[in-house]
Chain A
Amino acid sequence: MGHHEHSLAIFRGRLKFKSIEQKIWGVFTFLSIITIVEVIFGIIKPEALMVPFMSAFEGGFMATMANIFLSPFIFMKPLNLIFIVLTIVKAYYITWDFMHMRDETKALRRMVVWTAIFLICYLILILLVEGDYIFEVYKSNYVKFDF
């Protein structure tokens, strides 16, 4: 088995470690801090983060486009947005440093990551739009709470 050289820097080279062990412990500390922040936010749920940053635009095609592009800020609670961003950050460091994706070739990285991200985003989009549509049907029609 060939020994790949390991990249010892994280945060785009801003933080360099002397050895692999040190890098592992550094990444562990970083992941722990994120988890602690998530738990604290999850318990106190600050009021300011429970209402969306902005309200939906109204009127016309441009307003619809703006609502689509800014949907995370219009339709989501900022707290949930923070949780999702922190989760993706954690996933990145687990994959890149614990699974050594940082040291794989670019082609392998893209085969694994782009495929998964594309399919997962598509699945989420389809299912959540459909779920919201059924919610509206239940709300505004005389359909029972049946399935």
Chain B
Amino acid sequence: METTVATTASQGDVWGGGNQPLRASYGKMMMWFFIVSDALTFSGFLAAYGFSRFKFVDAWPIADEVFTHFPFLHGVPAPMFYVAFMTFILIFSSVTMVLAVDAGHKMKQSKVAMYMFLTIIGGAVFVGSQAWEWATFIKGEYGAVETKGGKILQFLDTEGNRVAIGSFAESMHSEATEHEPSNGIWFMSGNDQTSYNFEEVKAGFLANDNLLIRTQYLDENGHPTVLSREASVAKIQKDGKLVVEGANLKRNEYGHPLFADFFFFITGFHGFHVFSGVLINIIIFFNVVIGTYERRKSYEMVEKVGLYWHFVDLVWVFVFTFFYLV
């Protein structure tokens, strides 16, 4: 460690500024304090997620059954692999970032530039992956029926495999059309049309004896409850109301609407952090390339943006655990 700043000669200046009791520059310390406050924001979101999940703990979707997709592996269930891949990308971009910081300490301009570039690529791959994850989540896979009470009914065959509504719904002539702003409320638009309406799904369900309904309530083993055929028929006739395909902020086919709300909000806010991190990294990268820090004889800016970047990685570690694992 360096010797302390306050020597006998300078002790009179303790309150006069110019000394660094924490041996960190102003900018670095402020970055740390920003990180503390941002960490509290994220923990607010994650704790709110925990609150809502505890509130509906017997009816919460199981993440492994929701996020089972992997690009180019259509129909092959691959729970968790894609998020694990995203986690690796982010940890790896943290490694290149810390290597850039280290190269900065040694004043190696071209090495800093190279590592910054790799970090930017890693961040871009992560944001792209998140976009893909969102698109898959929004599109949905099997579709479901929502009850009058706002709960989700999913369909299974007798072996317990999920069945897509499109595979059994009976096509019927439907009078429903999409809402046009020109005939009515101008600020509302359509897009509520699903590929099958509830009557078609109901008719198809009643005609296929091998279909069962799975409710969003979990049994004592933590699996969603599957109803018997009689109970399923009674349930869809008495409670069924509309078809849900995919997910949005109001309803989702995976279960409780709050699950989708928190998914969009938490991963969206994190993705926004990654996106801004990439932008800041790009600015710093160009500054490195044009030699700003070489002239300044200090690569501390790289260190500060590195702190932010590692923080984004740190948050993802928690999001990964609390959204996908626990």
Contact = CB atoms under 8 A, between A and B. Distances in A.
A135 B94 contact: no
Given A90-B317, A98-B98, A108-B29, A42 B52 contact: no
Contacts of A73: none
A4 B23 contact: yes
B131 to A, nearest CB: 22
Interface string B36-68: 100110011001101111111110000010000
Given A20-B102, A39-B80, A115-B36, A131 B92 contact: no
A134 B56 CA distance: 9
B9 interface: no
Given A144-B149, A145-B149, A120 B43 contact: yes
Contact of B52 (A108, A119, A124, A131): A131
Contacts of A31: 91
A91 interface: yes
Nearest to B48: A127
A21 B100 CA distance: 10
Contact of B23 (A2, A83, A98): A2
Interface in A123-138: 123-124, 127-128, 130-132, 134-135, 138
Interface string B195-212: 000000000000000000
Contact of B21 (A83, A99, A107): A107
Given A50-B222, A94-B94, A99-B307, 10 more contacts: A39-B80, A39-B81, A87-B317, A87-B321, A99-B314, A108-B22, A124-B43, A127-B50, A128-B47, A135-B55
A5 interface: yes
Interface of A: 1-5, 20-21, 24-25, 28, 31-32, 35-36, 38-39, 42-43, 50, 80, 83-84, 86-87, 90-91, 94-95, 97-100, 104-105, 107-108, 111-112, 115-116, 119-120, 123-124, 127-128, 130-132, 134-135, 138-139, 144-145
Interface of B: 1-2, 21-25, 29, 32-33, 35-36, 39-40, 43-44, 47-48, 50-58, 64, 79-81, 84, 87-88, 91-92, 94-95, 97-99, 101-102, 105, 149-151, 222, 298, 300, 306-307, 310-311, 313-314, 317-318, 320-321, 324-326
B22 to A, nearest CB: 4
A109 to B, nearest CB: 9
A134 B22 contact: no
B314 A94 contact: yes
Contacts of A139: 58
A131 B95 contact: no
A38 B320 CA distance: 10
